[in-house]
A and B are shown apart, each in its own frame.
Chain A
Amino acid sequence: MFHNLQELRQSPSLATKVFIQRDYSEGTVCRFQIKFPSELGSRIERTLFEDTVKTLNTYYAEAEKVGGQSYMEGCLACATAYFIFLCMETRYEKVLKKISGYIQEQNEKIYAPRGLLLTDPVERGMRVIEVSVFEDRGSSGSSPSSNVSSGISQR
Chain B
Amino acid sequence: MPGSSKSGGVGGLPSSPHTASPSRPLRPSRYVPVSAATAFLVGSTTLFFCFTCPWLSEQFSVAVPIYNGVIFLFVLANFCMATFMDPGIFPRADEDEDKEDDFRAPLYKTVEIRGIQVRMKWCSTCRFYRPPRCSHCSVCDNCVEDFDHHCPWVNNCIGRRNYRYFFLFLLSLTVHIMGVFGFGLLYVLYHTQQLDRVHSAVTMAVMCVAGLFFIPVAGLTGFHMVLVARGRTTNEQVTGKFRGGVNPFTNGCWKNVSHVLCSSQAPRYLGRKRKPHSVVVQPPFLRPQLTDTQLAAKVLDNGIHGDLHRSKSSLEMMESQSCDAEPPPPKPELRYPALSRGHQGQHTEESSLLNKAPPTPTMYKYRPTYSSPGKNHTALTHAYANQSSQQPGFRSEPSLDGREAPGERGGGGLGGGGDRPGGGGAPGSGGGGIPGYSLGGRSYPSFSDPTVLSSGGGGGASHSSSVRSGSAHNATHVSEATTSTSYKSLANQTPPPRNGSLSYDSLLTPSESPDFESAAPDMSPGHHRTPAPPPILGYSSPYLSAQLSQQRDAELHQPSASSVALLSSPHRAHYLQESHPHSHHSQPPPSSAAPNPPLLPAPLLSDSAAPHHYPYRTRSTDTPLAPSTHPPRSPHPPPLGKSLSYSSAAAAEMQYRMVRKASASAGGGGAGGGIHAPKDEIQMKLFSRTNGQPRSSISSSGSTPSSPSHPISMSTRPGQAYPSPGNTQSPAHKPGGGVKKVTGVGGTTYEISV
Give residues in A with beta carbon < 8 Å to B: 11-12, 16-28, 33, 35-39, 41-45, 63-66, 69-71, 73-74, 77-78, 81-82, 84-93, 96, 100, 104, 107-108, 111-117, 120, 122-128, 130, 134, 136-139, 141, 143-145, 147, 153, 155
Cβ contact within 8 Å between A90 and B285:
no
Cβ contact of B278, chosen from A39, A104, A145, cutoff 8 A: A104
Interfacial chain B residues near A82, Cβ < 8 Å? 9-10, 77, 81, 165
Cβ contact within 8 Å between B305 and A144:
yes
**Per-position 1/0 for B567-592, Cβ under 8 A of A:** 00000000000000000000000000
Task: Please name 19 pairs of A and B residues whose Cβ atoms are closer than 8 Å in the assembled complex, sorted by A.
Answer: A17-B96, A22-B131, A23-B345, A27-B248, A27-B251, A36-B351, A63-B264, A74-B261, A74-B262, A85-B265, A87-B7, A92-B265, A92-B266, A107-B279, A117-B277, A125-B90, A127-B90, A136-B283, A145-B306
Cβ contact within 8 Å between B288 and A25:
no
Cβ contact within 8 Å between B262 and A71:
yes
Cβ contact within 8 Å between B274 and A123:
yes
How far, in angstroms, from A91 to B267 measured CA to CA in the complex? 10
- Is B294 part of the contact surface with A, judged by Cβ < 8 Å? yes
Cβ contact of A19, chosen from B76, B97, B118, B346, cutoff 8 A: B97
Cβ contact within 8 Å between B275 and A127:
no
Given A27-B114, A85-B265, A112-B280, also A145-B339 (CB < 8 A): yes
Cβ contact within 8 Å between B279 and A117:
yes
- Is B230 part of the contact surface with A, judged by Cβ < 8 Å? no
Minimum C-beta distance from B604 to chain A (A): 22
Q: Which of B230-273 contact A (CB under 8 A)?
A: 248-249, 251, 255, 258-259, 261-267, 269, 272
Interfacial chain B residues near A27, Cβ < 8 Å? 113-114, 132, 248-249, 251
How far, in angstroms, from A138 to B74 measured CA to CA in the complex? 63
Cβ contact within 8 Å between A43 and B441:
no
Cβ contact within 8 Å between B285 and A77:
no
Given A96-B267, A122-B267, also A42-B113 (CB < 8 A): no
- Is B598 part of the contact surface with A, judged by Cβ < 8 Å? no
Given A85-B8, A147-B375, also A39-B279 (CB < 8 A): no
Q: What DSSP secondary structure best describes chain A's contact surface?
A: mixed
Minimum C-beta distance from A2 to chain B (A): 12
Q: Which of B278-324 contact A (CB under 8 A)?
A: 278-290, 294, 303, 305-310
Q: Which of B87-140 contact A (CB under 8 A)?
A: 90-91, 93-94, 96-97, 111-114, 118, 128, 131-133
Cβ contact within 8 Å between B97 and A124:
yes
Cβ contact within 8 Å between B91 and A113:
no
With A25-B111, A27-B113 given, can you name 9 additional A-B contacts, CB distance below 8 Å?
Answer: A37-B340, A37-B343, A38-B305, A66-B255, A82-B10, A107-B277, A114-B287, A127-B93, A134-B285
Q: Which of B8, B91, B441 has the largest number of chain A CB atoms within 10 A?
A: B8
Interfacial chain A residues near B303, Cβ < 8 Å? 144
**Per-position 1/0 for B343-358, Cβ under 8 A of A:** 1111010010010000
Interfacial chain A residues near B341, Cβ < 8 Å? 19, 21, 128
- Is B215 part of the contact surface with A, judged by Cβ < 8 Å? no
Interfacial chain B residues near A127, Cβ < 8 Å? 90, 93, 128, 131
**Per-position 1/0 for B65-97, Cβ under 8 A of A:** 000000001101100010000000011011011
- Is B6 part of the contact surface with A, judged by Cβ < 8 Å? yes
Cβ contact within 8 Å between A93 and B281:
no
Interfacial chain A residues near B371, Cβ < 8 Å? 145
Cβ contact within 8 Å between B345 and A153:
no
3 shortest interchain CB distances as A-B pairs: A144-B306, A85-B9, A115-B285
Minimum C-beta distance from A65 to chain B (A): 8
Give residues in B with beta carbon < 8 Å to A: 3-10, 73-74, 76-77, 81, 90-91, 93-94, 96-97, 111-114, 118, 128, 131-133, 145-146, 164-165, 168, 248-249, 251, 255, 258-259, 261-267, 269, 272, 274-275, 277-290, 294, 303, 305-310, 338-341, 343-346, 348, 351, 354, 371-372, 375, 441-442
Given A93-B6, A124-B93, also A43-B288 (CB < 8 A): yes
Q: What DSSP secondary structure best describes chain B's contact surface?
A: loop
Cβ contact of B281, chosen from A28, A115, A143, cutoff 8 A: A115
Closest to A95 in B: B264
How far, in angstroms, from A84 to B73 measured CA to CA in the complex? 15
Interfacial chain A residues near B168, Cβ < 8 Å? 78
Cβ contact within 8 Å between A41 and B262:
no
Interfacial chain B residues near A81, Cβ < 8 Å? 73-74, 76-77
Interfacial chain A residues near B251, Cβ < 8 Å? 27
How far, in angstroms, from A52 to B510 measured CA to CA in the complex? 55
How far, in angstroms, from A18 to B81 measured CA to CA in the complex? 37
Closest to A130 in B: B97
Cβ contact within 8 Å between B262 and A90:
no
How far, in angstroms, from A147 to B96 measured CA to CA in the complex? 11
Given A17-B97, A85-B9, A93-B5, also A43-B128 (CB < 8 A): no
Cβ contact within 8 Å between A90 and B9:
yes
Interfacial chain A residues near B344, Cβ < 8 Å? 21, 33
Interfacial chain A residues near B112, Cβ < 8 Å? 24-25
How far, in angstroms, from A126 to B283 measured CA to CA in the complex? 29
How far, in angstroms, from A22 to B167 measured CA to CA in the complex? 28
Cβ contact within 8 Å between A113 and B267:
no
Interfacial chain B residues near A77, Cβ < 8 Å? 9, 265
Closest to B251 in A: A27
Minimum C-beta distance from B594 to chain A (A): 18
Cβ contact of A44, chosen from B3, B288, B339, cutoff 8 A: B288
Interfacial chain B residues near A89, Cβ < 8 Å? 6-8
Given A38-B309, A63-B264, A123-B274, also A45-B288 (CB < 8 A): yes
How far, in angstroms, from A74 to B281 measured CA to CA in the complex? 42
Cβ contact within 8 Å between B288 and A28:
no
Cβ contact within 8 Å between A155 and B283:
yes
Cβ contact within 8 Å between B307 and A144:
yes
Minimum C-beta distance from A139 to chain B (A): 8
Cβ contact within 8 Å between A93 and B8:
yes
Q: Which of A36, A85, A96, A144 has the largest number of chain B CB atoms within 10 A?
A: A144
Minimum C-beta distance from A74 to chain B (A): 5
How far, in angstroms, from A95 to B346 measured CA to CA in the complex? 29
Minimum C-beta distance from A66 to chain B (A): 5
Interfacial chain A residues near B255, Cβ < 8 Å? 66
Q: Which of B277, B351, B375 has the largest number of chain A CB atoms within 10 A?
A: B277
Interfacial chain B residues near A123, Cβ < 8 Å? 91, 272, 274
How far, in angstroms, from A116 to B286 measured CA to CA in the complex? 10
Minimum C-beta distance from A148 to chain B (A): 11
Minimum C-beta distance from A4 to chain B (A): 17
Interfacial chain B residues near A18, Cβ < 8 Å? 340
Minimum C-beta distance from B542 to chain A (A): 28
Cβ contact within 8 Å between B288 and A24:
no
How far, in angstroms, from A147 to B274 measured CA to CA in the complex? 27
How far, in angstroms, from A28 to B267 measured CA to CA in the complex? 15
